[in-house]
């Protein structure tokens, strides 16, 4: 039995994995799909002080509290930053890192360093009435849809789980300063259908595995069986 820890991207919640979780558990594996809420005794559910570090603490706290080991740690989109820093904190507990159509950082980088289009979101949030709220990206004209989701029922379901993101999550840098994290095997899963203009993808070193899914960004919604099949190869 393997343990899969599925970490959602910006604006989403753990609910987005609902179609993937049963496919992995049916194969006999443990699956956790938490929401990056930042909730706790001293942190609000969502607020200006919630950032990347808060989300990393959510994931690391779960791994330690549940005494998880040999974890297949999957980060979607923005969560590529989260799983990177989380693995840096507990490299001895992570068996495989999976970057699912994700931002792939180096030490000290922020979301804006990896995806320059994020800078406009940061500037807009800082200039807004709140000074920190980043609303979800809008639905784009065909064939792009909402985060790559195009079916009307799926779009409605996705909208129901989206919420604002704190700008601090895009401003805080990733920590990758433990040499042990470099020894963790990495797999990249790229969603290659209808990629919006302006989205950049960094080259992957030849020593790391790359798989592709012929679907849009939120593949856990649009192609859950195909995604689960790939993840099961790592378990």
Q: Which residues contact 140 (CB under 8 A, 6 or more apart)?
A: 146, 196
Two tokens, residue 191:
């969603």
Beta bridge partners of 71: 3, 94
DSSP string, 10-64: TT--GGGGTTTHHHHHTTT-EEE-------SSSS-SS-TT--HHHHHHHHHHHHH
DSSP string, 69-119: -SEEEEEETTHHHHHHHHHHH-GGGEEEEEEES-----TT--HHHH-TTHH
Report yes or no: 195 and 189 within 8 Å, Cβ to Cβ.
no
Residue of 35, 77, 85, 166 marked active site = 77
Annotated active-site residue 77? The verdict is yes
List active site positions: 77
């Amino acid at each position: 039995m393997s343990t899969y820890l599925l970490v959602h991207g910006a604006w989403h919640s753990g609910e987005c994995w609902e179609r993937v979780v049963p496919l992995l558990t049916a194969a006999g594996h443990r699956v956790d799909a938490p929401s990056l809420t930042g909730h706790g005794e001293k942190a609000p559910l969502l607020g200006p002080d919630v950032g990347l570090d808060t989300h990393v603490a959510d994931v690391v706290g779960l791994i330690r509290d549940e005494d998880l080991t040999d974890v297949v740690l999957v980060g979607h989109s923005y969560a590529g930053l989260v799983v990177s820093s989380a693995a840096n904190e507990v490299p001895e507990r992570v068996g495989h890192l999976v970057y699912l159509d994700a931002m792939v950082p180096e030490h000290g980088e922020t979301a804006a360093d990896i995806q320059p289009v994020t800078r406009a979101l940061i500037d807009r949030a800082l200039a807004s009435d709140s000074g920190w709220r980043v609303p979800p990206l809008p639905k784009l004209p065909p064939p792009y849809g909402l985060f790559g989701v195009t079916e009307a029922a799926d779009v409605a379901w996705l909208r129901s789980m989206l919420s604002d993101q704190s700008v601090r999550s895009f401003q805080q840098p990733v920590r990758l300063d433990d040499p042990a994290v470099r020894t963790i095997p990495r797999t990249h899963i790229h969603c290659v259908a209808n990629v919006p203009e302006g989205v950049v993808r960094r080259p992957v070193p030849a020593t790391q595995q790359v798989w592709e899914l012929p679907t849009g960004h939120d593949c856990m919604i649009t192609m859950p069986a195909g995604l689960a099949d790939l993840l099961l190869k790592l378990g």
